[in-house]
Amino acid sequence: MCGRQALTLPHDAMSQMFGATLANDLPDVPNYNICPTNQVCAVTSDAGVRHVTSMRWGFIPHWYAKPNGGPLLINARSETIAEKPAFKAAVRQRRCLIPATGFYEWTKDETGNRLPWYIHPAAEEALAFAGVWQRWERDGEAHTTCAIVTTLANDRMAELHSRQPVTIAPADYGLWLGEEGHGAATLMTAAPPEQLEFFRVDPAVNSNRASGPELIEPYDAETKTA
């Protein structure tokens, strides 16, 4: 799954990376601890014109009476996304890319302590997560919301978690965004093991209130007190 992420890429760099125009209300970057329900940057395409916009991370199906009217849907499983009522229309009609420079997963030690790991691209400046989005409106309240598509982890990522975000290669941006016809379903697979690297980071990130670049720095448990 993906339950926390980081984005350090400047807005101008995102515009260049995706060939997209920038909205005026994008969330501030860098952000080293993006949590569910926070605003994230997302890339959409309208008739082939790409835009970087702001979306709430946490997909709200149209039938929710209020934003917290059901489970918080931050991830969508690739295996069932085309069947689930919450996502089946979105995966056909409303796909997006969610830029990130990394994300976090947790393991546990022998005493049950949660150990955070930072996963980042081995070579590229940033990742583009496959996402789906939904506009929700009710009683004068409106949110544009999104979820990250996940798939079974490759052998290396499985050391940390059984699932990982689907990442879209630059050559496939157009296909995922619906600019190149059908076939986006073929992209919902795990990235090759060599695409991602990971290392332990400070347990401070266990708090959703933590911030700062030190959150994505390697952590040596033997020389620091957790």
Give the model's pLDDT for residue 226.
Answer: 42
Q: Tell me: the pLDDT tens digits for 30-40? A: 999 999 999 99
Evaluate the omega torsion of the peptide bond into residue 30 and state whether it is cis, within 30 degrees of 0. yes
* 62 within a domain of the structure (yes/no): yes
Give the model's pLDDT for residue 2.
Answer: 85
More confident residue, 6 or 181: 6
* 225 within a domain of the structure (yes/no): no
Q: What is the mean pLDDT of residues 115-120?
A: 97
**CATH number where 20 lies:** 3.90.1680.10
Give the model's pLDDT for residue 224.
Answer: 59
* 59 within a domain of the structure (yes/no): yes
Instruction: Please give the C-alpha separations between residue 89 and each of 26, 54, 82, 143, 175, in angstroms, as whole numbers.
Output: 26, 21, 8, 17, 17
* 224 within a domain of the structure (yes/no): no
* 226 within a domain of the structure (yes/no): no
Question: What is the extent of the structural domain holding 24?
Answer: 5-216
Give the model's pLDDT for residue 223.
Answer: 59
Q: Tell me: the pLDDT tens digits for 52-79? A: 999 999 999 999 999 999 999 999 999 9
* 69 within a domain of the structure (yes/no): yes
If you average pLDDT over every residue of the chain, what do you get? 95
* 53 within a domain of the structure (yes/no): yes
Confidence of residue 41 (pLDDT cuts 50, 70, 90): very high
* 46 within a domain of the structure (yes/no): yes
Q: What is the mean pLDDT of residues 79-104?
A: 98
Q: What is the mean pLDDT of residues 93-97?
A: 98
Instruction: Please give the C-alpha separations between residue 197 and each of 71, 189, 193, in angstroms, as whole numbers.
Output: 31, 18, 8
